[in-house]
Amino acid sequence: MSTKLILFGLLLVMTTSLTAQKDQRATLEQKRQDILSEIKQINTLLFKTQKQEKSVLTQVQDLDQRISAQENLIRITNQQANLLTKEVNNNIRKIDGLRQELATLKEDYAQMVIKSYKSKSQKSRLMFLLSSHDFLQAYKRIEYMNQYAKFRKEQGLSIQAKTIELQTLNTDLVEQKKQKKLLVQENQKSKLALSKEKTQQQELIATLKKDESKFASQIKVKQREADAIDKQIDALIRAAIASSNTKAGKSSTSSKTFALTAEAKALGVSFTGNKGKLPWPVESGVVTKRFGKQRHPQLANVTTFNSGVYIVTSENTKARAVFNGTVLEIQQLKGANKAIMIQHGSYISVYTNLSNVQVRKGDIVTTKQELGTIAKNFSTGKTTLKFSIFKNTTRLNPADWVFKM
């Protein structure tokens, strides 16, 4: 019984290990497919307008996106190749062990067959039973013969099972070697493409360095424009908070939090519970600028701040609500296009740079409901949505809330 338990335990450990390896392979492959999809979108959305004249800054930024994605692809592919190498080595060890075990089993089985044959040639089963001294001895001899026959059968089945397992492992080993070869080849192609991209980028960076002050000035102008738009949105949120407090009969209008109904509080709790699971505010797109303060990768003395994320998508794409809520405000911003603010309890999602809207203030909207068309910048050829999330007046990083952002 203890032997069976040990064998069962070993089988359980092997099964768990194989399942974990399969899960790891599946996870890495999903990541690889995601990156390949991202590269495809980058090529479509950022490089489809190559015939249009781009500023050097835009070209460098676009190349940064593609280089970063290529580097991620190489990293994931390396991890896959390393995992396959480990599995191939494990398979080789298992095959060697199975071969030795199979050889031992066959030898034992051969000896057992010979012994059985000799036993049959010396006396028949009947004579073996009739020579018993009493009934009990005859019964024990019958039991012994049955157990012996059963053991022989189990040995034969064990050899058959080990043979099949060995054949399966050999097949898997061949397949794994093929997969590894394909991954290595793919990595070599990715590295070659990356090398060309970096050469092109270095040429553009050299252009930037020649007139660094000019390009730094351009970035600062764009930052001031973005800050001005942020101030307008901040003012709208403060006004909405003040209005909610007034309607709730609170005397203080300096509160920085919304006065919420029980229903609105429950919606806010539901929004919190969906952190990291919210859908993208566009059906498909590429994040070109991330949230927060960032040092420019080429101009060391230049830093920028993004109060949200910038998503480049295809032309005529609709912005869509990331969660159930109420349209809090629709505003034509000075120096920009239209913005829609949707309230989700104490949270607000903001969709900026819309050429037209298809909802009205006070409308109840649902998750993924279309809100309006995202505007296209005709000088760059890009259709870009700025997406932001607030909790009351506090800016939050959308990447923490939106699934796989």
Residues 84 and 169 in one domain: yes
What are 291's two structure tokens? Answer: 């949230």
CATH number at residue 236: 2.70.70.10
DSSP codes, 286-323: EEEE-SEEEE-SS-TT-EEEESSEEEEE-TTPEEE-SS
pLDDT of residue 144: 66
Residues 54 and 70 in one domain: yes
Residue 405 placed within a domain: no
The residue behind tokens 């629709």 is 330
Residues of the chain with pLDDT under 50: 1-4, 6-7, 10-11, 13, 121-123
Distances (CA, A) of 51 to 42, 48, 381: 16, 8, 10
End-of-domain residue from the set 175, 190, 210:
210
What are 190's two structure tokens? Answer: 């990715």
pLDDT of residue 49: 56
Residues 298 and 284 in one domain: yes
pLDDT of residue 7: 45
Give the model confidence (pLDDT) of 310-355 as tens digits. Answer: 999 999 999 999 999 999 999 998 878 999 999 999 999 999 999 9
What are 144's two structure tokens? Answer: 């012994």
Neighbours of 313 (CB within 10 A): 23
pLDDT of residue 146: 67
Give the range of the structural domain holding residue 282, as residue numbers without chain letter. Answer: 212-400
Model pTM score? 0.67
DSSP codes, 247-261: HTT-S-S--SS----
pLDDT of residue 28: 86
End-of-domain residue from the set 160, 185, 210:
210
pLDDT of residue 77: 86
pLDDT of residue 392: 96
Residue type, 95: I
Total number of domains in the chain: 2
131-145 burial, b for 16+ CB within 10 Å, e for fewer? Answer: eeeeeeeeeeeeeee
